[in-house]
Structure 1
Amino acid sequence: MKVRVVEKEAFKITGMKKSYLFREDENLREIPKLWDEVNKNGTVNELLSITVGEVSGILGVCVDKSEEADKNMDYWIAVASEEESAKYEKLEIPASKWAVFEVHGPMPYSMQNVWQQIYSEWMPTSTYQQAGYISFERYTEDDPSSEDCYSEIWIPVK
């Protein structure tokens, strides 16, 4: 597993969000369906047209809300952007030190496998600890069904 650690200033994202439960792996089943929907209905292309900043591509942003009784996470499909939009919501991603993990292979399985490796292998043996409740996936313009697809997982660490 390839990982690098980077410092990043705060930045804003613009996009749409849905809430999911971790219970019974609802998030693992339902988030790929959301991606299918936004890829088919043009939302991804619309968001890409307003992206600005160092963090390029489409972002899948996980906001852990597990301390709340009614939901466990918000999942955003968004882009880095300062642009105001009546159609989309905004969220600020705080400045942080980030562990950036490379993901290679077709979606969603490659992404889900790397998430599992991070928490079962890397976190228990690393000198870093997770430092925040927002993490994100960065998707490039590669074909998501390709064995050569490249994407990343960004986790705040201390």
Structure 2
Amino acid sequence: MAYEVKAFVELTVIGEARFYESMEEAQENIPKFWDEFNRSGKNKQLEKLADDKFNGFFGVCFPKGTGTDYMIAVSSEQKTEEWEVNTIPAGNYLKFEAIGPVPREIQRVTNEAYEVIIPASQHDLRHAPEFEFYPAGNLKAKDYVTEIWIPVE
């Protein structure tokens, strides 16, 4: 599986987060979170606040204790009472592409990255948010590309 090492500039994001105790719980419940978020129309509200740095949504895993806060977010400097604000810190990331329908391909590529690619590489994980970037497009298309960014030293 191909990947590249990319430097990422600090980015402020706004959105809604939910806490998950484990990766298993997160993988099971994040698709439901997205479905609820989109059905409620929050995606349209949040999209209106996005800046022009990225055309799409982020799914960000912010480490929190023994679990993670997963945030559905957009790039934005706007601060409102309705949305949480957080920062994806600058640093190096391994960038993978999951090509195919969401969420199946994201989960497959993420699992392979952590179980096979990273252990065999010379990259050490860095304690920072991991994130997915969902560009505008049809998330169910066979050729849809989701970016997966994993922080490394």
Unpaired segments of 5 or more residues in structure 1?
A: none
Q: Distance in 2 between matches of 1:125 and 1:92?
A: 30
The correspondence for 1:126, drawn from 102, 121, 137, is 121
**Which residue number in structure 1 is paired with residue 18 of structure 2?**
18
Q: CA deviation at 1:66?
A: 4.2
Quick one: structure 1 residues 51 and 86, their matched pair in 2 at CA, closer, same or farther if it must change by over 3 Å? same
- Deviations along 1:6-31, whole A, 9 cap, x unmatched? 112211100000001217x2211111
The 5 A counterparts of 1:1-158 are 1-22=1-22, 25-67=24-66, 72-158=67-153
Q: CA deviation at 1:79?
A: 0.7
Q: Give identity over the alignment, percent.
A: 33
Structure 1 stretches of 4+ moved >4 Å: none
Unpaired segments of 5 or more residues in structure 2?
A: none
- Deviations along 1:38-95, whole A, 9 cap, x unmatched? 111111122222222534310000012244xxxx111000011101111101001111
TM-score, normalized by length of structure 2? 0.93
How many equivalent residue pairs? 153
Quick one: structure 1 residues 3 and 111, their matched pair in 2 at CA, closer, same or farther if it must change by over 3 Å? same
Secondary structure in 2 matching 1:116: helix
- Which sits farther off after the overlay, 122-131 or 48-57? 48-57
Coordinate RMSD, CA, aligned: 1.4
